[in-house]
Amino acid sequence: MDKLALSRSSALVCGPALVVLGVGGCVAAFFGLPWVAAALLLAFLLALCARVWAKLSGRRLSLSVVSAVDGLFPGDTAEIELEVRNEKFLPVIWMELFFPLAPTLCLVPEGSRKPEDWELADLADQKASDRLVGEQRLSLLLWYETTRVTTRWIAHRRGAYSMAGWRLRTGDGFGLAQVEGPVPQDQAQRFLVYPARTEVSPALFLRNLWNADTGARGVMEDPTVIRSTRDYQTTDSVRRINWRLAARGLPLSVNVYEDILPRSVHFLFDGESFSGPDAHPKEMEDALSILGSELLCLEEASVRCGLSLCRGSAGPAGNLFAPADLSALLGALAVYEPMPDEWDADIEHILPQKPVFDSAPLLEAEHRVGRFYYIAYDTDCLKDRWLLLRLGGERTTILTWKEPEPFGEFEVVALGRLRKGGGEHG
């Protein structure tokens, strides 16, 4: 970390100023102006000492994350514990952590402030927020000393935030020169803010997966695999009786079948249906909130869930087929953003973009999925969705944010009805 922060340092320590002071002092001495020469050379030595001191203070100074929460929900507060190490003999008089924030302000530290006017250009270069920045002053750090500091952050909305833009600043004891450096790439963690939680009911998805004979917590029994038998009880179904043993004159017994997990629920999120000429960003956030909350409910019910996102601004289309960790699904929702609008200069109009799914792996896994759920803003935009038509209405339900209209043979349900108290599912 030896980059001189010119915008935060005194003009005396910049290269041209040092040259002017040094040359001016020598010229004044040559022409017999001792007091002028002494003043200029003293200022030269002070500025040079400050600059060297600042550069040496920034050497072998490192920052790393000790503990942090990777995923948060809006409204959550998290503590990020940092470790700062001074691996040299020279003490560090002062240090400062500077946090550029994401443009969406998805994660904001306590004590944030408005940026100064001279900071705006640098924030624009980093594509950071120009509304708020974070800053935390650290205390004296002696030679070969390690200290820990805790920062508190508040999650405000869905999104992703990276430490890649963090700056560790220090300088000389005179306050004339400052140096700064970014957090190393291998130490730059990313923090995710998942979609907001809301009260939802998983009844629609459970209804389509199994019937009343299914075991508890979404576990089904495989009637082709008998695990054991036990004595018959009056509450047992007649269909469970082992008639082969009964035919041999043995007491009535019932079969105990092997438990298996049900087929998975797979969601397809059509983000492009919420964008275009008449964009609906707030409605998309609402849809993602309902989807994320349903994933949490289905996880509690031991239902495996998968997710397919169409191509977005954060990366290509992707499929997640019932991952073991629910955070993978919530993380994909956290970073998803639809493609930027496409402007047609000829007609001066925004062109609606069609969703691009990674369809080949999705169709290969079709037989392993219990039911598909295609999420879109409304049914009007679905007429040319070939993947939806390929999956067919027999195994696919359409979920729309807008109150739905009938669409072919598909079952269509309004997303709002998934909220508790939002009405019955037809």
Q: Across all residues in the chain, what is the average pLDDT?
A: 83
pLDDT at 318: 85
What residues does 161 pair with on adjacent strands?
A: 191
pTM over 0.85: no
pLDDT at 217: 41
Q: Torsion angle, CA of 312/305/325/290, rounded to 10 degrees?
A: 60
pLDDT at 309: 92
3-state DSSP assignment of residue 224: strand
Domain residue ranges in the chain: 3-58, 61-193, 224-260, 264-418
pLDDT at 248: 78
Cβ contact 98:171 at 8 Å = no
pLDDT at 211: 38
Cβ contact 61:170 at 8 Å = yes
CATH number given to 61-193: 2.60.40.10
Paired sense of beta strands 305-309 and 264-269, if any: parallel
Give the DSSP letter of residue 175: S
pLDDT at 67: 78
Q: Give the CATH class of 264-418.
A: alpha beta
| pLDDT < 50 stretches in the chain | 211-218, 424-426
User: What are the tens digits of pLDDT across the range 248-268?
Assistant: 777 888 887 655 555 689 999
